[in-house]
Structure 1
Amino acid sequence: MDPKAAVRSWLPAGGSARRLVAASFVDSLGTGLFLAGSALFFTRALGLSAVQVGIGLSLTGLAGFLGMVPTGRLADRIGGRNAIVALYLWRGACFVVYPFAHEPEVFYVVAFLIGVAEWGGGPIVQGIVGAVESDTDRVRTMAVIASVRNVGFSAGAVLASLVLAMNSVTAFSALVLVDALTFFAAATVLSRLPATANVRSPRAGKGGAPPTRVRDPRFLALAFLNGVLFLHSVLLAAALPLWIATRTQAPTWVLGALVVLNTALVILFQVRLSGGADDLRNAARRQRWSGWCLAACCLLTALTAEVGPVAATVLIALATVTLTLGEIWQSVGAWRLSYALSPPQSRAYHLSVYELGTSAASAVGPALITWAVAGKGLGGWAALAAGFAAAGSAVVVIAAAAQRGLAPDEPDEPREHAREPHESTRER
């Protein structure tokens, strides 16, 4: 097959979805540039201490947690397209200021403002996908976006390594400004989305105002359990590297190899494994599979402390594969569950509430899991395995109750009200 034709068939057919994919790639390319050089930028270009950098990054996470739901509510009011363009412009402006934030107080303020826009954008993008794609295409489109983001992160990191080799403060600051330009470019791409991407919630007196809070405890429980499963990100970023470096005989190159393996597998299989989660029951099963895979990852990792370097390397590779499968199935299940249970009139708000689970996991997960691994050793890994398996199984039970709670004539996934004319015919 012609490579161009293969890429076209892999991408979503609709123009709106492709704009979202393009903007996500540009965003992730710049973010990969920044993340690869952020440590040197903060310490060498801004002259901040490690403690000050840690405080700023914690403020970024706190801002995301506090601002996510209000941002989602705002998106329902002004429309998803308007909201996401504003957030990208906001992030771009903050990154333009970053190279001048030499004072810790200024750095803290900028980091906090970035956190609001950084964490608030994900649910809004998912809401826009829900508005411009059909029920059967939404999860696949989200999977394409996730794959493209991984490609962008990797490409950005490679490009950053070439710049970092210059070992210049000016080069470090230039990476940040280039990242700012990518946010402005993404905003430009997204500003061309059609009116169907800018659906607003009805105002009071015109169909009723959107709910002021999520009242369904099953929705909140699923959001919490999704946050538990999302701890796979902490396993990859902190727990596995810490364990490998301090408790195994595996060679040090394994630390970088597991990240490369994880990224490659996500790029190759995220879209392929996104099919089949076409209703609440199948979506919940994906999250149960995720829990089982993450449990297997924990148990395989625990075994590495008792074997030699070759066996430890093999076990780490197997643990990385199971972790990646858990990551993919967690996200696939989460996309479908959150779409199915989010009313169209307040979709961005509900998706933001659902995303609080992952935000909380990102905030408390590193301390919790590193304590379990470093303090409890094999017992800690066993406890984590049991927790992941239990969380995945609980999703199936709660999702079944949510399925029964839907009206008999109500689909488990809201149907969109308007579509772009050309998107009704899929190009396959």
Structure 2
Amino acid sequence: MSVRSRFSNKAPVSHERASLLLLLIAFVDASGRGLFLAGATFFYTQVVGLSSVQVGIGLGLAGLCGLVCTVPIGRIADRLGAARVLAVLQVWRMLGFLIYPFVNDFYAFLLIACFIGCVEQAVWPIIQTLVGAAVKSDAYVKTMSKVAIVRNVAYMIAAGVFAIVVGVASSPNAVIGLLIANALAFLISAVLLVVAKLPQAAAREQVESALAAVAAHPLKNLNFLSLSLCNGILSLHQAVMTIAVPLWLLTKTQAPKALIGLILVVNGIMAITLQLMFSKRGNEVVHAARKHLYAGITLALSCAMVAMTTADQSPYLAAGILLLGCVVMTFGELWQCAGAWGISYYLAPAENRAYYLSVYALGANLMTVVFPAILPIAVVERGAAGWIGLGIVFALAGIATPLLARAASRQRAGSRSDDLRTQGAEA
């Protein structure tokens, strides 16, 4: 008897109820995480007393731990069940955040940051795996859009709660209370995952053919790895929006500083209100890949718009161009997210879905770890040329994605045909 079957005593809930449960789990998870993200800098610098360099080193090493651990955790999720593994990860995160209040020096911070970092990046691919098993295939991208919307709403609420708490009682105890609330959210999420009987992916089958063997291991699949890299490049919009654009606005233009907050608010509102619309017709690899093409073009256009702003311009002209450029960048963000969900899901075999989705996430995770430190030097300090260069990289990633997706689709179709021929010969 398999490990998974020993824990399958009751029938899974319906697709509709499973979808609602996953939305609730996503909201609870993001609410807690959002509380911490909003107050992380305050906690690190004002409560623990770390320098910005120490924080950067700790978070960088934590990110590297996540890169190393994400794929093995995905493989474990395929064997033991995504819901069970995600529940364990939530308990792991809960323990880490309960220990955080006792951190009082750099080395303790480094240890706990890496402890949490080992599982942090693995959570999102496993949530995607659960959604893939819980809903019908043609509803996957739409459901992922709803999950993203719910998470964005939770993040905005959490940011508001943090602002109120710190405004009323800007003391270490108030921030520590938010850390405990974050840990509690992870505990609630874990309990929901244990109590709810969510549908599981198909059991892993033995791979017979050589072509199918390659398809079963995405780390050996060059087309899939290239798609992961292209998605990672396109996902840089987040670092560009939150790091490069604010730095450019503050150091290279006369635009009002308050514009930074307005840009982030507009981005959040657009992500919540438009994600479903941008996710339509994303239920096939070819359509999802086309969304990445649109993302690459619009992100390149937004970079060109930012490059048009200078220190000699009127503050209001620069502000208008930057705001419009960030609106265009948000269009690219919405297309990138929808395309990534479709490409990764429809190229992933059901029996290896968590493994595939974890590998696909490597591209974006790598960019998240590496590029925040590079963007200021490679883009902002190089002026307009840096923005044009970044735009070209975005465009090339967008153009390459449909070509790579078609090749990956043909490879996947070939592996399926090989499996059918093998099964026919055995019969």
Q: 1:356 aligns with which of 344, 359, 362?
A: 362
Question: In structure 2, which of residues 246, 255, 271 is the aligned counterpart of residue 250 of structure 1?
Answer: 255
Letter in 2 for 1:234: A
**CA deviation profile, 1:376-414 (whole Å, cap 9, x unmatched):** 111111111111111100101111222333437969xxx
Any idea what SS the aligned residue of 2:55 has?
Answer: helix
1:137 corresponds in structure 2 to 139
Q: What is the RMSD of the two structures over their aligned residues, measured on CA atoms?
A: 2.2
In the TM superposition, what are the counterparts of 1:61-140 in structure 2 within 5 Å?
Answer: 61-140=63-142
Q: Following TM superposition, by how much is the alpha carbon of 1:236 offset from its aligned partner in structure 2, in angstroms?
A: 0.8
Counterpart of 2:332 (choices 326, 331, 351) is 326
Structure 2 stretches lacking a partner, 5+ long: 1-13, 418-427
- How far apart, CA to CA, are the structure 2 residues paired with 1:203 and 1:115? 33
Match of 1:187 in 2: 190
Q: C-alpha displacement at 1:174, in angstroms?
A: 0.7
Q: 2:413 aligns with which of 407, 411, 415?
A: 407
Q: What is the total number of aligned residue pairs between the two structures? A: 399
The residue number in structure 1 matching 2:158 is 156
CA shift at 1:111, angstroms? 0.4
Taking the aligned partners of 2:120 and 2:412, their CA distance within structure 1 comes to 33
Deviation string 1:136-175 (CA, Å, 9 cap, x unpaired) is 1000111111111110000001001111121111111111
Distance 1:282 1:50 in 2: 43
1:234/1:409 Cα in 2 relative to 1: closer, same or farther (>3 Å)?
closer
In the alignment, what sits opposite 2:421? none
Q: Give the Cα–Cα distance (whole angstroms) in 1 for the partners of residues 231 and 101 of structure 2.
A: 36
Counterpart in 1 of 2:172?
A: 169
- State the alpha-carbon separation in 1 of the partners of residues 49 and 205 from structure 2: 49
User: Could you tell me how far apart the structure 1 residues matched to 2:214 and 2:20 are?
Assistant: 32
In 2, Cα distance between equivalents of 1:95 and 1:214:
32
TM-score (norm 1): 0.89
Amino acid paired to 2:24: A
1:10-43 Cα shifts (integer Å, max 9, x gaps): xx97111111111111111112211221122122
**TM-score, L = length of structure 2:** 0.89
d(CA) in 2 for partners of 1:178, 1:112: 21
Moved more, 212-221 or 296-305: 212-221
Partners of 2:216 and 2:283 lie apart in 1 by 26
Whole-angstrom CA distance in 1 between matches of 2:234 and 2:213: 35
CA, structure 1 residues 79+251, in 2 after alignment: closer, same or farther (shift >3 Å)? same
The answer to whether the aligner puts 1:264 opposite 2:269 as a matched pair is yes
Distance in 1 of aligned mates of 2:207 and 2:106: 44
In structure 1, stretches of 5+ residues that fail to align are 1-11, 412-428
Aligned partner letter, 1:135? S
Q: Point out 4+ residue stretches in structure 1 off by more than 6 angstroms.
A: 207-210
| 1:2-401 equivalent positions in 2, closer than 5 A | 14-165=16-167, 166-194=169-197, 196-197=199-200, 200-202=203-205, 211=216, 214-305=219-310, 307-401=313-407
Q: Tell me whether 367-376 or 288-297 shows the greater mean CA deviation.
A: 367-376
- Secondary structure in structure 1 of the residue aligned to 2:136: coil
Deviations 1:252-293 (A, max 9, x none): 100111000100000000112111112111111100000011
In the TM superposition, residue 211 of structure 1 has moved relative to its aligned partner by 4.2
Structure 2 Cα separation of the partners of residues 283 and 209 of structure 1: 23
Quote how far apart the aligned CAs of 1:208 are: 9.8
Percent identical residues: 37
CA distance in 2, matches of 1:153, 1:368: 26
Cα separation, 2, equivalents of 1:210 and 1:381: 37
- 1:6 corresponds in structure 2 to none
Match of 2:200, SS state, is helix
Residues 186-216 of structure 1, C-alpha deviations (whole Å, 9 max, x = no match): 11122233252365535799x9999455322
| Cα distance change of structure 1 residues 204 and 383 upon mapping to structure 2, 3 Å threshold | closer
